[in-house]
Structure 1
Amino acid sequence: MLRCMLRAKIHMATITESNLEYEGSITIDENILNETGILPYEQVMISNMNNGERFETYVIPGRRGSGDICLNGPTARKGVVGDKVIIFCYAYIADDKIKKFKPKVIKLDAKNRIAGKAR
């Protein structure tokens, strides 16, 4: 059996831009993506801590080291600059692999720099 499990989490990211005119997605600094293993165009779920919105979209890589967390297209209506969000990425894992599996979880500081790994 396969189970849907948390694979990666970006905790306490701060929205740096909201771009309604873009075709849709979330832009995330490529350094953050590399640290979590989230790939460009991979599906993510975002939970906005300021307004309770929860939504899914796909990732596009942002400039490395920029700290960019940008809501694009219709997702721009789900948050504003300065909102804190949690970004989740899930994967289907076989039962026999679950005991050894550990998600990659990172915490960001107020400038979206990696502040540490969480458990």
Structure 2
Amino acid sequence: MFRIMLKSKIHRAKVTATKLYYEGSIAVDPLLLKAADILPGEKVEVLNLNNGSRIETYAIEGKKGSGEICLNGPSARFACEGDEVIILSYCLVNGEEAAKMKKNVIHVDSSNKIKN
């Protein structure tokens, strides 16, 4: 049996911008993507802590070192600049792998810089 498991989580990032008339996606600082093990083009779920909404989209690289979290296209209607979001990615694993799976949680500060 296969299970869908949480692989990565960027916790409580702040939306830095929205661009309605863009093709779509969420632009994320590549430093955050790398730390969270999320690839450009990977499907992600975005949860908005301010309004309780959640959407699915895909990640693209923003400007490196900027702390950018920018919702693009129709996703821009989901959040306002300054809203706090959680970005999740999942993976499909067999039962044995699922039991050993460790999620990768990245905590960020108010500037979307990684906390240590």
CA distance, structure 2, for counterparts of residue 96 and residue 82 of structure 1: 40
Q: Which amino acid aligns with 1:111?
A: S
For 1:1-119, list aligned pairs within 5 A.
Answer: 1-116=1-116
Deviations 1:46-103 (A, max 9, x none): 0000011110000001111110000000000000000000011011111111222211
Gaps of 5+ in 1: none
What SS class does the counterpart of residue 114 from structure 1 fall into? coil
For residues 46 and 19 of structure 2, what CA distance do their matches in structure 1 show? 16
RMSD (Å), alpha carbons:
0.7
Amino acid at match of 1:67: G
C-alpha separation in 2, matches of 1:18 and 1:36:
22
Q: Distance in 2 between matches of 1:106 and 1:35?
A: 7
**C-alpha distance in structure 1 between counterparts of 2:62 and 2:104, whole Å:** 20
Aligned length: 116
- Greater strand content: 1
Q: Which amino acid aligns with 1:37?
A: D
Aligned partners of 1:56 and 1:94: how far apart in 2?
A: 23
User: 4+ runs of 1 displaced by more than 6 Å?
Assistant: none
Q: Give the fraction of aligned pairs with identical amino acids, expressed as a percent.
A: 48
